[in-house]
Chains A and B, each alone.
Chain A
Amino acid sequence: MNVLSDNFAMFREGFLGTVELTALSALLALVLGTLIAAFRVSPVPALRVFGTAWVTLLRNTPLVLLFLVATLGLPALGLKGWDSFWLAVMALGCYTSAFVCEAIRSGINTVPVGQAEAARSIGMTFSQTLGQIVLPQATRTAIPPIGSLMIALAKNTAIASGFNVTELGSVQKTLNADAGYDIYVIFAWIAVCYIIITFAISGLFRLLENRLAVAR
């Protein structure tokens, strides 16, 4: 009558589903977030407008609504054939990218303008200045807030359970429906799974922070 041992395969699948969803959404969020941050500080007005619009829109929309747009809106627009897992990655990744962008941008603001001017004065282009001088230093300040964002992202993946994705949230729902298990024990095991994931993320980011602090 142990929930975990009776349903180990299901737990494992859910756990891996959450890990996968978190990892891929995080990757998308970091890449997009960095790109949009670059847009927001670029000398091209059109890119700045796009970046600002992206952040404003995504940061102010409830995540559930984004899931609805991804699962109902996109197919209605003719984008069919995506499975629900990838739609969830899109929704989570885009949503989190807006916050990542702002974390990076606040990091960029801590890098003295003079260094960017010095880089331009030796002939470096905008993207070289950003990639070689500004972002490496901005990242240092942005790492801790981005770590928090990634933990929030891991927990936000639970919303995907409502959209036909196998992850920890869906495991919990299935087991709850399957009477005979103590609901609190189910919750406890699910919580343990999330804690493992979020602790791993914290650890990873603490490591990153230390590595970057030493490299100076």
Chain B
Amino acid sequence: MSEVSVTKDAAAAPADALVVLHNVNKHFGALHVLQDVDLTIARGEVVVVIGPSGSGKSTLCRTINRLETTDSGSISIDGKPLPQEGKELARLRADVGMVFQSFNLFAHKTVLENVTLGQIKVRKTDRKQAEQKARALLDRVGVGAQAEKYPAQLSGGQQQRVAIARALAMDPKVMLFDEPTSALDPEMINEVLEVMQQLARDGMTMVVVTHEMGFARSAANRVVFMADGRIVEEARPDQFFSNPRSDRAKDFLSKILHH
């Protein structure tokens, strides 16, 4: 187990930084939701972000593809700073996959269309090729048989796996997950986590906001603990869970581990 971690860590050398946040600040009115956030994510690294409700985890995720603007600091993806707006930004966003808590599938499109739309409209892939790739991805996440259905006809777990396929169809450099299993019934959580585990094993760079400790322990290279808009602690998962350093983390873990 520790050997695996070591090799993973070696792959995650800072020399190959994919996502770099430097001194990022963000306010919602008077509320300072991100405070001097510095975070570097290496290519192939899996980072789990945890922390109490309202600590800014979602906001952090959303700033990485600029669904939220920032007030100061810089964010760059694969060496390129995030553009302000317009086509340039759209192009960069296509390289950053995002999976939402509430799936957010396009309700008026079939499952297949959900996965082909971005390829056709953004990547300008031709329809046939896009459909081929979409079917392969849907098979990979285990919902190939549902391709012609509409999102409302699927279970939550199936919808979330379609949402993962939709993001993967863009060949993203990094995938962001914001509590991907929190809206799911318990029996559906595992089917989604398994897809994510597989993705991590395949070397995808991932930022995952989750309270699934099992996933954090088995798939993450690093746990980032946030509280009150700050990154309070960063550590390898085994270290973080068995021996948290900060009082905030200890307090938080004692609460969630009792549940």
Asked whether B102 lies within 8 Å of A137 as measured between CB atoms, the reply is no
Contact B117 A118 (CB under 8 A): no
State whether A124 touches B122 (Cβ < 8 A): yes
The answer on a CB contact under 8 Å between B97 and A121 is yes
Is A62 an interface position by the 8 A CB rule?
no
**Residues of B contacting A120 in the complex (Cβ-Cβ under 8 angstroms):** 67, 90, 93
Complex CA gap A137/B150 in Å reads 14
Q: B104–A117 contact, CB under 8 A? A: yes
Which residues of B have CB within 8 Å of A133?
106, 108
Q: Are B98 and A118 in contact (CB under 8 A)?
A: yes
Whose C-beta in chain B lies nearest to the C-beta of A116?
B104
Q: Which of B102, B122, B163 sits near A123, CB closer than 8 Å? A: B122
Cβ contact within 8 Å between B98 and A123: no
Q: Are A124 and B90 in touch, CB under 8 angstroms?
A: yes
**Closest-CB distance, B105 to chain A (whole angstroms):** 7
B90 A123 Cβ-Cβ under 8 A: yes
Interface size on A, residues (CB 8 A): 21
Complex formed: what's the CA distance from A132 to B104 in Å?
14
**Which residues in B have their C-beta under 8 angstroms from that of A128?**
121-122
- Complex CA–CA separation, A171 to B42 (angstroms): 78
| Contact with B93, one of A43, A123, A215 (Cβ below 8 angstroms) | A123
Q: Is A63 an interface residue (CB 8 A)?
A: no
- Asked whether A122 lies within 8 Å of B106 as measured between CB atoms, the reply is no
With contact pairs A120-B93, A132-B121 given, residues A216 and B108 touching in the complex (Cβ less than 8 Å): yes
- Quick check: is A81 within 8 A (CB to CB) of the other chain? no
**Does B18 lie at the interface of the complex (its beta carbon under 8 Å from any beta carbon of A)?**
no
Q: Which of B95, B105, B122 contacts A118 (CB 8 A)?
A: B105
Chain A contact residues, majority secondary structure = helix
Given A114-B102, A216-B150, A122:B108 Cβ within 8 A: no
A174 interface residue (CB < 8 Å to B): no
Contact across chains for B67 and A117 when beta carbons are under 8 A apart: yes
Complex-state Cα separation, A125 to B88, whole angstroms: 10
Is A180 interfacial (CB 8 A cutoff)? Answer: no
* Chain A residues closer than 8 Å to B87, beta-carbon distance: 125
**Interface residue? B209 (CB, 8 A):** no
Enumerate B93-150 residues with CB–CB distance to A below 8 Å. 93-98, 100, 102, 104-108, 117-118, 121-122, 150
* Contact residues in A for B216 (Cβ distance below 8 Å): none
Q: Does B226 have its Cβ within 8 Å of any Cβ on chain A?
A: no
Chain B residue contacts of A216, Cβ below 8 A? 107-108, 150
- What residues of chain B lie closer than 8 Å to A123, measured between beta carbons? 90-95, 118, 122, 170
A119 to B98: give the CA distance in the assembly, Å. 10
Q: Is B65 in contact with chain A by the CB < 8 A criterion? A: yes
Assess whether B91 is in contact with A137, with CB atoms less than 8 Å apart: no
The reply to whether the CB of B223 lies closer than 8 angstroms to some CB of chain A is: no
- Nearest-neighbour CB distance to chain A for B217, whole angstroms, equals 28
* CB neighbours of A73 from chain B (8 A): none
Asked if A122 and B100 make an inter-chain contact with CB atoms under 8 angstroms apart, the answer reads: no
B167 within 8 A of A: yes
On whether the beta carbons of A132 and B117 are closer than 8 Å, the reply is yes
Fill in one digit per residue for B156-171: 1 if any A CB lies within 8 Å of its CB, else 0. Answer: 0000000100110110
Which residue in chain A gives the minimum CB-CB distance to B166?
A122
Against B, the Cβ 8 Å flags (1 = close, 0 = not) of A92-133 are 000000000000000000001011011111111100100011
Residues in B neighbouring A43, C-beta threshold 8 A:
85
Nearest-neighbor residue (CB-CB) of B93 within chain A: A123
The CA-CA distance from A137 to B105 in the complex, in Å, is 13
27 A/B residue pairs, CB under 8 Å, sorted by A: A112-B102, A114-B104, A117-B67, A117-B98, A118-B100, A118-B106, A119-B106, A120-B93, A121-B67, A121-B97, A121-B167, A122-B117, A122-B118, A122-B122, A122-B166, A122-B167, A122-B170, A123-B91, A123-B92, A123-B118, A124-B117, A124-B121, A124-B122, A125-B87, A128-B121, A133-B108, A137-B108
